[in-house]
Chain A
Amino acid sequence: MISQVVAGAALALGLLNGCSASTSPAAPAVALAPAPRVTGDRQIVHVLNRLTYGPRPGDLERVRTMGVSAWIDRQLRPQTIDDSATERALAELTTLRMPIAEALREFPRPDPKLQAQVASGEMSRQEMLERYPLEKRPARIATELQAAKAVRAVTSERQLEEIMVDLWFNHFNVFAGKGDVRWYVSAYEREAIRPYAMGRFPDLVRATAHHPAMLFYLDNWLSARPDFIVPAGPNRGRRAGLNENYARELMELHTLGVDGGYTQRDVTEVARAFTGWTIDRPQTDGRFVFRPGMHDTGEKIVLGRRIPAGGGRDDGERVIEILTRHPATARFIATKLARRFVADTPPPALVTKVADTYTSTDGDIPAMLRTIFESPEFYSADAYGAKIKKPFEFVASAVRALGGTTDAQGGMALARASAEIGEPLYQAQPPTGYADRGEVWVNAGALLARMNFALGLASGRYPHVSVEIPALVAGAEPSAPAAVLNRLLTAIVADQAGPETRAVLAAQLGEPQITRMSPDDRGPANTDVAKLAALVIGSPEFQRR
């Protein structure tokens, strides 16, 4: 009885402060009695915060009308949602649809002779730019992909799918700055991630394992049996051999997890199994090919399972089968999903449930998501507002909260903003991708960058990104600052604003730069809604979802 009272009090505190109970000192008490369930509009806000890049004006009402579970169902079946407006906005980004071979033709690598001439001073930088203009350089491909990501996050109706594309890209990360990945990265997301983001997990492993972007990024394209002599090309005649990079990350980061029970011996065996999985003419075609000559034909033992000699290309397929059916993989993937949708340290009971769904459905992603979205842990008051937005999530959610829209050009500006806050898109160099834990993203420089973005966005300083701030407070009398503030807070952070934040913003209303007095000084004439909106976007509450 007493414990319940304590828990209730702790919770009430947590809610008031708009922070998760897990960071509150009374957190252990919560474990004694289950936290209450988030209900009503609060539940809708929670669902929108987790399944989308943040609510837009009107979303709450739309979900209320449709019903939460019907809305979630629809998001779980993205193919049923019309998204043609987004597709139209992306039309001008031509590299998004370009096959790799065409990208390699359209964006030739810099001519070494040209570079030498610039280095020696024979050619001026200006001349170089004319001969090799920026828009013909391969960096264009990643830039357009970044822009597309921002446009989709802001405008796509298939929000959950976009969230999952982001999650899986980071899970199977490739770095757009590494070598030939420059030309492959867009195709990678289009061919290996997006089609399976709401499909089956083993298909993601298979698709990424075969994709030239992954083969290049984690070096498997060069891995060969130990005594292999390169028959042709610039390295002709030289002895190649095993490269462990992909094999290790496949187990550590893609499937089993670092504590998944594999050994160095397993790494070497998996690397042997994938020998010969390579890229056909990487600089003109960039296609997967299996080269039997590079393959180590001997027997392999992976996690105690025997892969008989002579399996050829199927060795790699066998390894993927062994790994994706392993209970450690079920648990690792379940943890990742629960971390994204529930809390940085997900409740173990939920992880177990999601892992069970993985096992019983062969890694069906919507089924695992449904397990999460139907769980009491997901709707627990502990989970409400418990996640801190990644920089890109923050940027997209700010534009959405202000009723904003963007075109492709604006998408590029938003991608730069995300970089400034610490998350340059497609630029995570290590194979872990970007972290999904708040502690990684909260630091002094990044917080200031978030505030500066809020100021820039609300005052319309991002070209091609338009926000509709007056509409947020439509109906509120401009000369009644308190009413304007109330309307604004409800629109941007729903009921998440703590009393302190309300008090601070109310005090701001007294600043002459915010509330302009009428000429006769009899009372407020106008409120600088844009500046108030910037403060709300930069507030602690809006950094959470």
Chain B
Amino acid sequence: MITRRTFVKAGGCALVAYAGAPRFLFRTAHAAEASGKVLVAVFQRGAVDGLSMVTPHGDPGYAGVRPTIGLQPPGRGESERAVDLDGFFALHPALAPLVPLWSNRALAVVHACGSPDTTRSHFDAQDYMETGTPGEKATADGWLARAVGTRPAKSTPFRAVAIGPALPRALRGGIGAISMQSLERFDVRAGADSTARAGFESLYEQGVRDLLHGTGRETFDAVKMLRSAGAARIAPANGAEYPRVPLGEALRQIAQLVKADVGLEVAFADMQGWDTHVGQGAERGQLALRFRDFGAALAAFAQDLGDKMSDVVVLTMSEFGRTVAENGNRGTDHGHATAMLVLGGGVRGGRVYGQWPGLAHHQLFEGRDLAVTTDFRALFAEVATRHLGVPAAPLFPGFRPTQPPLNILA
């Protein structure tokens, strides 16, 4: 058993050499009941190229179709090469901060994951993934909102929080999810004068329960609770350093909410900039820079939470993947399946899940894209069921799993 101190000391890159697992992995076993569990969803908007994020270097079809943007196979001792995961897949070199989590079996990958719907529209595909109903546009609420809605009611306004300028589709629904850009600025700022806050509060307290009034009421509950919890003052722990990018800021604040014990169950953050039609790059370049920020933010989050990570699962997602072959502009166009990451307590990590469909031309979806072998709903349902203890049926209406469970979570 490692102590907290050695874990802290071994933080960051030093952890690569560490053979043992961080303590949160051991603690998971006896935290069986779902109370206190937090699910963090990270949406990579714009369709991340799963073949670059977790590259199938063992597939003979890979190298030929991406002459300028393909990653070199992993090589020993070469710092800028992809990092081998299991002899077949490798992690993009810019995601190196995630390698210790992989080695400690806290991080798993699901590859060739995606939607049964074949749209290549970002906006429709994002909607389908967030409502949990592919092909069905009329769904009013999001799957994460339904997940929270099926759990026992709790008297906290912080059950579901999105960090960002707008409430994402996944959290819309009658659960009073909160979205905010910044914990520090989440208050009526009127200096010493308390009449303004009280005045606004009463304005939204009265009247019909419509969207504005309802949101207003939840807002003031949240303001009060956040102030008394002092969440905004909690500093990153364990030497965690978040990258100064929106995803880093979002995860830093989600960690503050976890540590402040405000009753968080579901958190949501997103990251833009994955729509790499042009000049995507390989080991270096545009996409590598996105991966650098993405990996650093996730790694900092795990490090910051330390032991508390045993109650947290981070699930990453993207609306679809990208074309297998590079296009005429050293980029990739809209495709089908991609890779998703699952990180945290209870995750049976260190493994790439899902059946690999192959990259030979006849194996591709519509002759151009990575085929979907794992319906995203199978993954999301398993995470929600096993981590949050909610039934899958109301989350993904109409979904009948056709495959055995992934067993990605204990």
Contacts from A to B (Cβ < 8 Å): 17-19, 23-24, 219, 222-224, 226, 228, 238-245, 248, 252, 258, 264, 267, 388, 420, 422-423, 429-430, 432, 438-449, 451-452, 455, 498, 500-501, 503-505, 507-508, 511, 513-514, 531, 534-535, 538-540, 543-544
* A contact residues around B216 at 8 Å (CB): 447, 540
Chain B, residue nearest A13 (CB): B208
Say whether, besides A443-B167, A540-B212, A500 and B123 are in contact (CB < 8 Å).
no
Let me know if B208 and A448 touch, CB within 8 A: no
Let me know if A219 and B219 touch, CB within 8 A: no
In the complex, what distance in Å separates the CA atom of A528 from the CA atom of B277?
Answer: 56
Q: Which of B182, B195, B366 contacts A264 (CB 8 A)?
A: B366
* A contact residues around B92 at 8 Å (CB): none
Chain B, residue nearest A228 (CB): B328
Question: How near does chain B come to A459, taking the closest CB pair, in angstroms?
Answer: 9
In the complex, what distance in Å separates the CA atom of A514 from the CA atom of B194?
Answer: 11
Say whether, besides A440-B166, A446-B165, A430 and B203 are in contact (CB < 8 Å).
no
Let me know if B207 and A17 touch, CB within 8 A: yes
Query: Which B90-146 residues sit within 8 Å CB-CB of chain A?
Result: 119-124
Say whether, besides A23-B210, A244-B333, A504-B199, A448 and B179 are in contact (CB < 8 Å).
no
Let me know if A534 and B196 touch, CB within 8 A: yes
Say whether, besides A219-B278, A445-B178, A540-B203, A439 and B195 are in contact (CB < 8 Å).
no
* A contact residues around B189 at 8 Å (CB): 452, 455
In the complex, what distance in Å separates the CA atom of A162 from the CA atom of B182?
Answer: 31
Let me know if B219 and A448 touch, CB within 8 A: yes
Let me know if A507 and B331 touch, CB within 8 A: no
In the complex, what distance in Å separates the CA atom of A353 from the CA atom of B120?
Answer: 31
Let me know if A430 and B122 touch, CB within 8 A: yes
* A contact residues around B327 at 8 Å (CB): 241-244
Contacts from B to A (Cβ < 8 Å): 45-46, 68, 119-124, 162, 165-167, 172, 178-182, 185-190, 193, 195-196, 199-200, 202-208, 210-213, 215-216, 218-219, 222-223, 272-273, 275, 277-278, 327-329, 331, 333-334, 366
Q: Which of B121, B179, B203, B328 contacts A444 (CB 8 A)?
A: B179
Let me know if B195 and A513 touch, CB within 8 A: yes
In the complex, what distance in Å separates the CA atom of A243 from the CA atom of B278?
Answer: 8
Question: How near does chain A come to B193, taking the closest CB pair, in angstroms?
Answer: 6
Question: How near does chain B come to A410, taking the closest CB pair, in angstroms?
Answer: 20
Question: How near does chain A come to B223, taking the closest CB pair, in angstroms?
Answer: 7
Let me know if A243 and B328 touch, CB within 8 A: yes
Question: How near does chain A come to B181, taking the closest CB pair, in angstroms?
Answer: 5
In the complex, what distance in Å separates the CA atom of A18 from the CA atom of B207?
Answer: 9
Q: Of A24, A441, A504, which is in contact with the most chain B CB atoms at under 10 Å from its CB?
A: A504
In the complex, what distance in Å separates the CA atom of A219 from the CA atom of B211?
Answer: 39
* B contact residues around A446 at 8 Å (CB): 165-166, 179
Let me know if B187 and A445 touch, CB within 8 A: no
Question: How near does chain A come to B78, taking the closest CB pair, in angstroms?
Answer: 23
* B contact residues around A504 at 8 Å (CB): 199, 202-203, 205-206
Let me know if B179 and A223 touch, CB within 8 A: no
Let me know if A538 and B179 touch, CB within 8 A: no
Which applies to chain B's interface (DSSP): helix, strand, loop or mixed? Answer: loop
Question: How near does chain B come to A502, taking the closest CB pair, in angstroms?
Answer: 10
Let me know if B215 and A508 touch, CB within 8 A: no
Let me know if A443 and B199 touch, CB within 8 A: no
In the complex, what distance in Å separates the CA atom of A400 from the CA atom of B133?
Answer: 43
Say whether, besides A448-B186, A498-B207, A244 and B328 are in contact (CB < 8 Å).
no
Q: Which of B193, B202, B218, B219 contacts A513 (CB 8 A)?
A: B193
* A contact residues around B122 at 8 Å (CB): 430
Let me know if B211 and A448 touch, CB within 8 A: no
In the complex, what distance in Å separates the CA atom of A447 from the CA atom of B366?
Answer: 45
Let me know if B200 and A535 touch, CB within 8 A: yes
Let me know if A248 and B179 touch, CB within 8 A: no
* A contact residues around B179 at 8 Å (CB): 443-446
Given A243-B278, A264-B366, A455-B188, 14 more pairs with CB closer than 8 A: A224-B328, A243-B328, A267-B120, A388-B211, A440-B167, A443-B215, A444-B178, A446-B179, A455-B190, A500-B207, A505-B199, A507-B202, A538-B200, A540-B216
Let me know if B328 and A531 touch, CB within 8 A: no
In the complex, what distance in Å separates the CA atom of A443 from the CA atom of B119?
Answer: 29
Question: How near does chain A come to B367, taking the closest CB pair, in angstroms?
Answer: 11
Question: How near does chain B come to A446, taking the closest CB pair, in angstroms?
Answer: 7
Let me know if A439 and B211 touch, CB within 8 A: yes
In the complex, what distance in Å separates the CA atom of A223 from the CA atom of B333?
Answer: 12
Let me know if B187 and A448 touch, CB within 8 A: yes
* A contact residues around B166 at 8 Å (CB): 422, 440-441, 443, 446
* A contact residues around B180 at 8 Å (CB): 443-445, 448
Chain A, residue nearest B190 (CB): A455
In the complex, what distance in Å separates the CA atom of A535 from the CA atom of B124?
Answer: 39
* A contact residues around B329 at 8 Å (CB): 219, 222-223, 240-241, 243
9 chain-A/chain-B pairs, Cβ below 8 angstroms: A245-B275, A258-B124, A442-B167, A443-B167, A445-B178, A445-B179, A451-B196, A535-B199, A539-B203
* A contact residues around B165 at 8 Å (CB): 422-423, 445-446
In the complex, what distance in Å separates the CA atom of A543 from the CA atom of B278?
Answer: 40
4 closest A-B pairs by CB: A241-B328, A445-B180, A500-B206, A422-B165
* B contact residues around A508 at 8 Å (CB): 195, 199, 202
Let me know if A23 and B211 touch, CB within 8 A: yes
In the complex, what distance in Å separates the CA atom of A339 from the CA atom of B163?
Answer: 28
Q: Of A248, A429, A441, A540, which is in contact with the most chain B CB atoms at under 10 Å from its CB?
A: A540
In the complex, what distance in Å separates the CA atom of A498 from the CA atom of B218?
Answer: 20
In the complex, what distance in Å separates the CA atom of A429 from the CA atom of B185?
Answer: 24
Say whether, besides A239-B328, A244-B333, A543 and B206 are in contact (CB < 8 Å).
no
Let me know if B211 and A445 touch, CB within 8 A: no
Q: Which of A219, A248, A442 contacts B212 (CB 8 A)?
A: A442
Say whether, besides A243-B329, A439-B172, A447-B216, A248 and B207 are in contact (CB < 8 Å).
no
Say whether, besides A444-B179, A455-B190, A531 and B196 are in contact (CB < 8 Å).
yes
Let me know if A540 and B207 touch, CB within 8 A: yes
* B contact residues around A219 at 8 Å (CB): 277-278, 329, 331
In the complex, what distance in Å separates the CA atom of A245 from the CA atom of B328?
Answer: 12
In the complex, what distance in Å separates the CA atom of A411 from the CA atom of B279?
Answer: 36
In the complex, what distance in Å separates the CA atom of A331 from the CA atom of B225?
Answer: 47
Let me know if B207 and A501 touch, CB within 8 A: yes
Question: How near does chain B come to A26, taking the closest CB pair, in angstroms?
Answer: 12
Say whether, besides A443-B179, A445-B186, A531-B196, A243 and B277 are in contact (CB < 8 Å).
yes
